[in-house]
A and B are shown apart, each in its own frame.
Chain A
Amino acid sequence: MATSNLKPTDPEYARWVDPATGEFRVIEPGQTFKSITDKITRIVLTPHTPLGWFAIFALAGAGATVLLVAVTWLFLKGTGIWAVTQPVAWGFAIINFVWWIGIGHAGTLISAILLLFKQSWRNSISRFAEAMTIFAVVCAGMFPLIHTGRPWLGYWMLPLPYTMTVWPQFRSPLEWDVFAVSTYATISVVFWYVGMIPDFGTFRDRAKSRVGQYFYGIISLGWRGSVRHWMRYETASLLLAGLATPLVLSVHTVISFDFAVAVLPGWHTTIFPPYFVAGAIYSGFAMVLTLAIPLRKFYRLEALVTERHIDNMGKVMLATGFIVAYGYGMEAFMAWYSASHWEAFTFWNRAFGPMGWSYWTLIVCNLAIPLTTLWSRKLRTNISFMFIMSIVVNTGMWFERFVIIVTSLYRDFLPSAWGTYRATKWDYMTFIGTLGLFTTLFVLFVRFLPMIPMNELRMLVPQAKITPKKPKEVGR
């Protein structure tokens, strides 16, 4: 509904807008501990899976199968089936790696950084944003591994005592990546799981089927809600959030070092770390919207994931979008100010060379459309508009990585070494396949795990307030 048109006189006004703050409510009024619990447990513990779920699962599974085919053929034939060659030796694999891992970053931002800032509106969306992080890291982590061409030797990147007595090279950012991404994946999974333990306890107590009782009973570790446990749990959550915050910033920084440390015009710049991190959060929030909007519709969660969430995510996108814009501007400025012939040429070639279309796609998708429209609250609370916007920004951010990688590489220092890049069908299949894998994992997650943290939402309910006076009648 168009809440943006609401006037204070409107009867619907009080339902959507909190009179104390003038903001959209975080969750709709009238929610109780029980209504929240019922709503979320019913999605998981129902014996009747909605037909639409099967349809999406089948579609996503088909996508994941495409990935299986593409990767199998890759293992049989080698990376020659991709378009990577000299001079563009990093193609889709690294584009997709950076894109996916960037998407994951918004999940950590929502679950960790906004927790530290006590932004309680995040409670409704933190769990599935965190799930999105994990599945995005799964997709991302696969790419560097299959890009090596010999993924079965991937363990060579780890400092293990092999019989051949070779050790990793710790001065290379590519080696740093191994530690950054593996730590990120581990901490994200741990944070996600720890957050779900109390909700698993609720599921255990409410499950009707034997299998459900055993399954949730075991993974809840016997959680019983003792306040002593809760206090340790809260401390651990805060510490994990505090640790995940510098971690998430370091992960994309390290990834930007893969580029910035190379002495290549277009890559060798100090703006890369902040610019990559902001871009990551920008695309990640877009992906949260892409997932949240259909999800709240499908499971009728509008009372818990409200327009306030959509509105706030739009604001974060606006802010990070401007940091990204600053990054683009600085790249252009430094191309001129550095007085380096190579830098100037790379920039000119990026914008006006044969692959200039990709640069302008990125400018339109990342700057022209979102940064002009997201100012309007009316548009930020227009659900269909925000859904389209999220797709536009995701496309734009994918092209950003394409531009950074391909247009910096394809025209080398010597014109005799110039080449071009044209992705093969295997490149496309791998990319589409990871979209399928991501969706498959996400669809399984919403079916079997609590996608909204019940224990955190209970804190937002007015019932949770400790009243100083006994509200009970005397003489009880």
Chain B
Amino acid sequence: MPPREGTYGLLAEFETPGDLVRAARQAYKDGWRRMDCYTPYPVEEAAEAIGFHTNRVPLLTLIGGLMGLAAMYSLETWISVIAYPLNVAGRPLYSWPAFIVPAYEWTILWAGLSAAFGMIALNHMPTLYHPLFNAPNFRNGALVDKFFLCLEALDPKFDAAESRTYLESLDAISVVEVEY
């Protein structure tokens, strides 16, 4: 993304999770879409309020797990039957029950790695810089005890003065403008 100039958005601070959720719900109802809530711990209601219901982490995990299963099972079969056939006490070369265990482990391994790295990638992390870190009060409380709602400038409804009044009407204890 090219570097941007100007305003990123308006950041409203709330004292309690309840205030935040009510404000977010109201803003969503009033047609705001480019917005986000920032909380020190997961607040499901806030995500629901801004219309974020599903995410793709489970799908990535499923795909990863199936790939792990297929990769290890076929590797075992190829090694034991074609690449290095070894007669162990007359047992069949294709001893599928024995192949289940490593294939099972790799299903979990790949699924787990997909879940973790998929989550990180979908969150666009690492993002070591973010405009919100410029807000004077954000780093003080966002990951401790404060709740924030940010209306972003990219939303068509955004207007610096009007949106500020709007946020103040939603019980915010402070509203600050965030620069890029």
Which A residues form the contact surface with B (CB < 8 A)? 32-34, 37, 159, 165-171, 173, 175-176, 179-180, 182-183, 186-187, 190-191, 193-194, 198, 201-202, 205-206, 217-218, 221-236, 239-240, 243-244, 246-247, 250, 254, 455-456, 458-459, 463-468, 470-472, 476
Contacts of A225 in B (CB 8 A): 38-40, 142-143
Within 8 A of A (CB), among B105-148: 105-106, 108-109, 111-113, 115-116, 118-120, 122-123, 125-130, 132-133, 138-140, 142-145
With A33-B145, A223-B143 in contact, do A170 and B125 touch (Cβ < 8 Å)?
Answer: no
A32 to B146, CA, bound (A): 12
Of B38, B41, B112, B130, which is within 8 A of A458 by CB? B41
Residues on B with C-beta less than 8 A from A37 are 40, 144-145
Chain B interface residue count, CB cutoff 8 Å, equals 71
Given A221-B127, A235-B119, A464 and B88 contact (CB-CB distance below 8 Å): no
Q: Besides the contacts A167-B80, A224-B133, A463-B145, what 10 more A-B pairs have beta carbons closer than 8 Å?
A: A37-B144, A176-B105, A186-B113, A191-B112, A225-B39, A227-B38, A231-B52, A235-B115, A458-B40, A466-B45
Asked whether, in the complex, the Cβ of B79 is within 8 Å of the Cβ of A170, the reply is yes
Q: Does B99 contact A (CB under 8 A)?
A: yes
Tell me the bound Cα distance from A222 to B138 in angstroms.
13
Docked pose: A472 CA to B129 CA in angstroms: 35
| B151 interfacial by beta-carbon distance below 8 Å | no
**Cβ-based interface call for B86 (8 A):** yes
Q: Which residues of B contact A191 (CB under 8 A)?
A: 112, 116
Inter-chain CA distance A297–B127, complex, in Å, is 38
Q: Does B76 contact A (CB under 8 A)?
A: yes
**CB-CB under 8 A for A240 and B116, given A167-B84, A225-B40:** yes
Could you name 25 residue pairs across A and B whose Cβ atoms are closer than 8 Å?
A33-B145, A37-B144, A37-B145, A167-B80, A176-B102, A186-B113, A193-B116, A198-B41, A202-B40, A205-B140, A224-B127, A227-B46, A231-B44, A232-B57, A235-B58, A236-B57, A236-B119, A239-B57, A239-B111, A240-B116, A243-B112, A250-B108, A459-B41, A466-B21, A471-B16
Is there contact, CB below 8 Å, between A466 and B116? no
Complex CA distance for A472 and B23, rounded to whole angstroms: 14
Q: Are A472 and B47 in contact (CB under 8 A)?
A: no
- Per the bound structure, the CA–CA distance linking A183 and B16 in Å amounts to 41
Contacts of B88 in A (CB 8 A): 169, 171
Interface string of B66-79 (1 = CB under 8 A from A): 00000010011001
A250 to B130, CA, bound (A): 42
Least CB distance, B47 to chain A, in whole angstroms: 4
Are A254 and B101 in contact (CB-based, < 8 A)?
yes
Which residue in chain A gives the minimum CB-CB distance to B119? A236
Q: Are A239 and B18 in contact (CB under 8 A)?
A: no
Which residues of A are found within 8 Å of B21, using beta-carbon distances?
466
Task: Report the bound CA distance from A227 to B48 in whole Å.
Answer: 9
Residues of A within 8 A of B33 (CB): none
**Shortest distance in angstroms between B91's beta carbon and chain A's nearest beta carbon?**
7
Contacting B18 at CB < 8 Å: which of A176, A230, A466? A466
CB pair B126 A456 closer than 8 Å: no
Contact indicator A180/B38 (Cβ below 8 Å) = no
A190 B112 Cβ-Cβ under 8 A: yes
Interchain CB contact under 8 A, A226 and B38: yes
Let me know if B157 is at the binding interface, CB within 8 A.
no
**Which of A205, A243, A464 lies in contact with B111, CB distance below 8 A?**
A243
- Contact at B101–A176, with CB atoms within 8 Å? yes
Q: How far is the CB of B32 from chain A (nearest CB, A)?
A: 14
B40, A217: Cβ atoms closer than 8 Å: no
Nearest A residue to B128 via CB reads: A222
Given contacts A37-B144, A175-B102, A227-B39, contact A236 B108 (CB under 8 A): no
Taking the closest CB of chain A, its distance from the CB of B145, in whole angstroms, is 4
Q: B45 — which chain A residues lie within 8 A by C-beta?
A: 466
Q: Is the CB of A240 within 8 A of B115?
A: yes
